[in-house]
Amino acid sequence: MNILLVEDDERISKFLVKGLGEAGYQMVLADSGEKARDFINAYDFDIILMDIMLPGMDGMQLTQLIRFKKNYTPILVLSALNSPDDKIKMLDLGADDYLSKPFHFEELISRIKALTRRNKLSYQEDAELLSCGNLRVDTNLHKVIQNDKEIELSPTEYKLLTFLMEHKNKVLSRTQILHNVWGINFDSTTNVVDVYISYIRNKIDETEQKIIHTVKGTGYLVKD
C-alpha cells in the first residue's frame, strides 16, 4: 500500500514515516501542499494522510483541489484542530475521515485499513471486468481473454496490463507505471516497463485492433 503523508512538522512526520514503514506501508512525504499536489499529479496513492495547517496551500485548499480534479483517493485528516466546525468543514470539502492529534498509533492503523478496505470494495464492484476491443480482463478470476481464448501472463505482466486497462484512454508515464506496478522506490532509470510491454505485446493479438499504444517520449496508452 502506498501512502502520501502531507505533514510539515518534522517530529511528527519522522515518527509516522518510521512507524508506518515498519508496519509494511510504502511512504511518500510532502512537507507542503504544493509538494503534495505535485506528487498526486504524478502518482497514484492508496490513501492520503493530511494535516490542515501547512505552509502555502493548506489542507483545506489541497482537499478542494484533489476533489475538483475528480481524484477520489481516501483522505484521512490528521490535525491538532479538533473543534466540531473544523471537522465538519473538512468532511464537507471531501475528506473521508478525521483524526485529532495526539492520537494512538494503533487507531491510525485501524482507520487506514478501514478506509482503504472500503475504497477497494467499492472499486472492485465497478472493476470486475475490464475491456478494450476484443480483450477482456476479469479481475475476480485473474484471467485475460481475447476472442474466447485465455492468454497466459506472468503475475507482473498481468498487473501491468490490468493497470493500463484500469486507466483506459489515459496516457500513463513510465514513472507512473513503475510506481504502481513495481513500487515507488524502483530504479526510475530502468527500461523494465518497455521490456514487459514487449512481453505482453508478444502474447496478445493486435491484428484486428492495436490495443497498447506507445506515446513517444512519455509512456503508454490503452484505448478503444
**Percent with pLDDT over 90 in the chain:** 63
CB count within 10 Å of CB 10 equals: 10
Residue 2's identity, in one-letter code, is N
Contact 130, 185 (CB under 8 A): no
- Per-residue model confidence (pLDDT) at position 85: 86
Q: For residue 184, list its beta bridge partners.
A: none
- Per-residue model confidence (pLDDT) at position 121: 61
- Per-residue model confidence (pLDDT) at position 64: 94
Helices 10-22 and 105-126, packing angle to 10 deg: 60
Where b means 16+ CB within 10 Å and e means fewer, 137-148 reads bebeeeebbbee
- Per-residue model confidence (pLDDT) at position 127: 53
In Å, how far are 28, 47, 103, 214 from 6, measured between CA atoms?
Answer: 9, 11, 16, 34
User: Taking residues 32-39, what's their average pLDDT?
Assistant: 95
Domain map of the chain by residue range? 2-116, 129-222
pLDDT tens digit sequence for 84-115: 888 888 999 889 999 999 999 999 999 999 88
Contact 94, 106 (CB under 8 A): no
pLDDT tens digit sequence for 47-84: 999 999 999 999 999 999 999 988 889 999 999 998 88
132-140 — which CB contacts under 8 Å span 24+ positions? Answer: 132/165, 132/168, 132/211, 132/222, 132/223, 132/224, 133/208, 133/209, 133/211, 133/224, 134/205, 134/208, 134/209, 135/165, 135/204, 135/211, 137/161, 137/162, 137/165
Residue 211 confidence (pLDDT) above 60: yes
Of the chain, the end-to-end C-alpha distance in Å amounts to: 30
- Mean pLDDT in the chain? 89
Q: Binning pLDDT at 50, 70 and 90, where does residue 42 land?
A: confident
- Per-residue model confidence (pLDDT) at position 123: 56
- Per-residue model confidence (pLDDT) at position 113: 92
- Per-residue model confidence (pLDDT) at position 181: 84
On whether the 129-222 domain is CATH 3.40.190.10, my answer is no
- The architecture in CATH of the region 2-116 reads 3-Layer(aba) Sandwich (3.40)
Nearest to 43, CA basis, from 133, 217, 167: 167
Pairing status of strand 2-6 against strand 26-30: parallel
Residue 183 confidence (pLDDT) above 80: no
- Per-residue model confidence (pLDDT) at position 184: 59
User: Taking residues 201-205, what's their average pLDDT?
Assistant: 94
